[in-house]
């Protein structure tokens, strides 16, 4: 783990004199940037677990932590597309700290696309498993599961030929175009007879929402509700509570947070990071949210990756 020492390098900027800082808890200004481009990073989740502190950087990559007692803490920074940063954080006095996060994909993968889709039977409409889906000439392929879904990552943007084949079904090939840095969803229909078929249904999506599984969950019948950016803009909420409380079984209290039918607290995750019980969802401005999901129940009524006794609230930030 990397050890980070924080000194009073910007006390003047924070408006805190050394004398005053020694008589009170400290205020820390943290700025997070891309380690390669020096670009400020918005929506980085900053955690000090030992102090019970959790916050999210703004559009300038900054977050201000107040009321921090002097001492050494463990700091964790997470953001999709970047390496997790974790280290010791020594607070000596009020000041500022600048941290660079290393991208997981520096250059070659930055514009790569993702292809996801479902293959169904023309005759029955049921999903088809064991269908081999290939992007001709790229060496990239995938095989559908029992639900007919497939996913191919790290695809070079541009026009490709998609081939779908399965024993006993007529092979088909279609031309598709993948925009750079985006996710493309296709619905492929196969027939047992070599007859002319209707074209693909193709939809371009946010790459981030594709990789998070948002659209896969959207196609599955779970007990819950989803809002993408378009729906959120139609609702024009002032806070996320305005959206969540449109669901009849979701309620909130100032002391207990969001509850399932007023009985027990729901689990909250932001960008797949589980938040502590005291975390206030409404501290996130709605215009910083790419999508929102809420589910409840057990077993098949909940996404298996998010099973929680009282349900779960998933917040996906813009990236």
- Chain segment 128-149, per-residue pLDDT in tens: 989 999 999 898 999 998 888 8
- Buried b / exposed e across 87-115, counting CB within 10 Å, b at 16+? eebebebbbbbebbbebeeeeeeeebbbb
Q: In whole angstroms, how far apart are CA 118 and each of 32, 64, 148, 200, 244?
A: 39, 45, 5, 11, 30
- Chain segment 191-213, per-residue pLDDT in tens: 886 655 556 666 666 666 777 77
CA angle 168, 174, 177 (to 5 degrees): 145
- If you compute the radius of gyration of the chain from its CA atoms, what whole number of angstroms results? 23
The tokens for 195 are 């007859």
pTM above the 0.85 mark?
A: no
pLDDT of residue 165: 92
Domains of the chain: which residue ranges? 2-101, 113-205, 221-317
pLDDT of residue 308: 63
CATH architecture of structural domain 221-317: Beta Complex (2.170)
Equal fold, 113-205 vs 221-317: no
pLDDT of residue 18: 42
Q: 317: closest CA among 8, 10, 21, 55?
A: 55
Numbers of helices and strands, H then E, in the chain: 6, 24
% of the chain at pLDDT higher than 90: 18
> Which of the residues in the chain have pLDDT under 70?
1-24, 105-111, 193-208, 297-300, 308-309
State which fold the 113-205 domain adopts.
Immunoglobulin-like (2.60.40)
CA 8 to chain centre: 34
The CATH number fitting domain 2-101, selected from 1.20.58.220, 3.40.630.30, 2.40.10.10, 2.60.40.10:
2.60.40.10
CA distance 291 to 275: 17
């Amino acid at each position: 783990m990397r050890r980070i020492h924080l000194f009073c390098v910007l006390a003047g900027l924070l408006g805190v004199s050394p004398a005053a800082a020694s008589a009170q808890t400290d205020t820390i200004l943290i700025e997070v940037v891309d380690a390669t481009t020096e670009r400020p990073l918005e929506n980085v989740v900053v955690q000090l677990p030992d102090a019970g502190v959790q916050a999210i950087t703004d559009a300038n990559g900054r977050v201000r932590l107040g009321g921090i007692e002097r001492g050494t803490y463990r700091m964790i920074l997470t953001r999709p597309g970047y390496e997790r940063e974790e280290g010791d954080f020594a607070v000596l006095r009020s000041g500022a700290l600048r941290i660079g996060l290393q991208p997981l994909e520096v250059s070659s993968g930055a514009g790569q696309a993702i292809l996801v889709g479902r293959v169904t039977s023309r005759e029955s409409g049921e999903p088809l498993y064991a269908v081999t889906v290939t992007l001709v000439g790229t060496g990239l392929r995938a095989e559908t599961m029992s639900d007919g879904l497939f996913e191919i990552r790290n695809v070079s943007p541009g026009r490709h030929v998609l081939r779908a084949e399965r024993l006993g079904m007529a092979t088909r090939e279609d031309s598709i175009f993948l925009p750079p840095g985006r996710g493309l969803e296709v619905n492929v229909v196969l027939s047992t007879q070599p007859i002319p078929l209707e074209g693909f249904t193709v939809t371009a999506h946010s790459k981030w929402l594709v990789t998070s599984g948002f659209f896969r969950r959207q196609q599955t019948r779970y007990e819950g509700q989803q809002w993408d950016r378009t729906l959120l803009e139609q609702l024009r909420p002032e806070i996320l509570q305005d959206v969540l409380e449109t669901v009849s079984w979701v309620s909130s209290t100032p002391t207990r947070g969001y509850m399932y039918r007023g009985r027990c607290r729901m689990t909250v995750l932001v960008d797949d990071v589980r938040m502590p019980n005291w975390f206030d969802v409404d501290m996130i401005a709605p215009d910083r949210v790419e999508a929102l999901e809420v589910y409840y129940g057990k077993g098949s009524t909940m996404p298996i990756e998010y099973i929680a006794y009282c349900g779960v609230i998933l917040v996906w930030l813009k990236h």
